[in-house]
Amino acid sequence: MGRKYRVGVTADEIIEAAVLLTGRKGLDGWSVRELVSLVGTSPSVVYLRVGDRAAVCHRVVHRVLPMPSTPLRPGTEWKQWFTEALLPLRTALRPYPGVARWILLHGIRFPGPHEDTPTDVPGPDDAPDNMDRAFGLLRDAGFGDDAGLVFALIMNSALTTIALADDRLAHPQDGAAGHVAIRDGLRRRGEDSVFGTGLGAYVDRFAGPAEDSEAAEEHYYRTIIQTILDGVEARLRPRGSDTGARHLTDRQDTSQAQGGRAGP
């Protein structure tokens, strides 16, 4: 007799199984065959209930990503909301390697009001989606047409940092051992090298015991978030200026007009 499949599987069961596999193997580390084996169903049922593998991955991202449901209380300013949304993001995504990288490459697909999505998926998929209102905070703050640029700068900085940490976990030789190699390479520049000794001393924080390395990673991530938010805020309203907001691209446009090279 052939293998019997469960045909009454719900979308929620499929997504929860995919979340479990992502925690075990990373978002890119499991196959549809492994997913259907864990759920006890067939690929056709997964496709019918959720979609192809990419669709399942999008639902995993939506399930584990806390940012869209970060409360947006009346009177909340843009910087406060992004601080509250992003500082916990590293802790929330760390158990699910590959999610940050997926978002960088594919974005976040939120079920829209006109999208035909499964209705049997309770919990996080039904959580409030405050992304429109949060993006509106950027426009209202004076970023205007640069709101998209600002959002990309903020999110890419956070997600790239998390994705890099995921890669280090996936390749143990690139974790603490990798930091040891970087530190030792810097030290070989000699004691007279302020670059080698200075940066080497900082890298050493990541090359020690796991607890110390984790504290250094968390401090680095929080500093990235706070620095990028402070930076775009400074570009919004230049110090000593009462002329209000200016475009983040003003400096680029000026350098081009003068014949200089703009951008990185």
Share of the chain above pLDDT 70, in %: 77
Distance CA 173, CA 186 (A): 18
Q: What are phi and psi of 134, to 5 degrees?
A: -65, -40
| Whole-Å CA distances, 248 to 3, 27, 153, 234 | 60, 35, 11, 10
Amino acid at 122: P
With a cut of 70, say whether residue 264 has pLDDT above it.
no
> What is the pLDDT at residue 219?
95
With a cut of 80, say whether residue 98 has pLDDT above it.
yes
Topology of the domain covering 1-64 = Arc Repressor Mutant, subunit A (1.10.10)
All CATH 1.10.357 domain ranges of the chain, comma separated, are 66-170+209-253
| Whole-Å CA distances, 124 to 61, 66, 113 | 11, 8, 16
Measured in Å, how far apart are the chain's first and last C-alpha atoms?
Answer: 64
pLDDT: is 102 or 173 the higher one? 102
pLDDT: is 183 or 30 the higher one? 30
Take residue 87 and report the two structure tokens written for it.
């500082």
Q: What is the CATH number of domain 66-170+209-253?
A: 1.10.357
With a cut of 60, say whether residue 120 has pLDDT above it.
no
Distance CA 39, CA 54 (A): 18
All CATH 1.10.10 domain ranges of the chain, comma separated, are 1-64
Average pLDDT over residues 21-28: 96
> What is the pLDDT at residue 168?
81
With a cut of 80, say whether residue 108 has pLDDT above it.
yes
Q: How many CB atoms lie within 10 A of CB 184?
A: 12
